[in-house]
Structures are given as structure tokens and as C-alpha cells.
Amino acid sequence: AQTVTQSQPEMSVQEAETVTLSCTYDTSESNYYLFWYKQPPSRQMILVIRQEAYKQQNATENRFSVNFQKAAKSFSLKISDSQLGDTAMYFCAFMAMYSGGGADGLTFGKGTHLIIQP
């Protein structure tokens, strides 16, 4: 079974600052995806960024980037030039991909509540 740990229940930074959300996971699988999802007050889950485990290059999407350390099983999210609209719950998630191409369900961390202060 996979586990995902987000050790920061809540974080608060000033607008325009850079913030890093941590995520560690535990798995015996070698082929998997990692995701960061954002859940704003609207409750919708929005995919922020994803990383394939076999890719060494860290994924980047505009102001969002990850630091993927496969050996350490760490997958942190960095938000640069933070904006008020970034205020939300952020969930780290893991999905194993099996040899037959089938996907297991997502395993989520408990989430980090990020607050961007004006």
C-alpha cells in the first residue's frame, strides 16, 4: 500500500513571496505518477502539476514547479510570485502504474492549507 504524507497542515506567506509545500510518499512501485491538486473554496479539485516517476526533469507549469527527489521519495511544490488566488488547500497525490498499463486509485495526502496574505 502507498502512503502520502504532507507534514504542513497550514502555511501562510505574503503575496509575491515564494512558498514550498512538502510531500513525501512511500511505495515499493517503480512506475508511478505524482500530482499536486488545488482545492479552492469552490471545492473543485484542480490539477496543478504532475510528474512521471521515470522522468528526471522536474515538471514546471508557469509559477508552479516541483522538486522531485525519487530516491528520497520527496515531491515538493514550489509556488513563485504567490498570488491571492493561490489561497487554497493543496493535496499531493500518488498513482501507481502497473506493468499492464492499469492504474491504481489515487492516494492523497491530508492536504496543506495555503494562505496568501495581502
Partner 1 sequence: NAGVMQNPRHLVRRRGQEARLRCSPMKGHSHVYWYRQLPEEGLKFMVYLQKENIIDESGMPKERFSAEFPKEGPSILRIQQVVRGDSAAYFCASVAGANTEAFFGQGTRLTVV
Check residue 64 for interaction with partner 1 (CB under 8 A): no
Query: 97: which DSSP letter?
Result: B
| Residue 43 sits in the site that holds partner 1 (CB under 8 A) | yes
Options 48, 91, 94, 116; binder of partner 1; rule CB under 8 A: 91
Q: Which of 59, 86, 107, 114 binds partner 1 (CB under 8 A)?
A: 107
> How many angstroms separate the CA atoms of 42 and 46, rounded?
10
User: Which among 95, 96, 97, 91 is positioned nearest to 109, based on CA atoms?
Assistant: 91
Q: Which of 11, 13, 106, 115 binds partner 1 (CB under 8 A)?
A: 106
Rg (CA), the chain: 14
Contact predicate 35/47, CB 8 Å: yes
Q: Which stretch binds partner 1 (CB under 8 A): 17-25, 36-44, 60-68, 69-77?
A: 36-44
Closest by Cα among 54, 95, 62, 98 to 81: 62
* Contacting residues toward partner 1, per CB under 8 A: 6, 33, 35, 37, 42-47, 50, 91, 95, 97, 101-103, 105-111
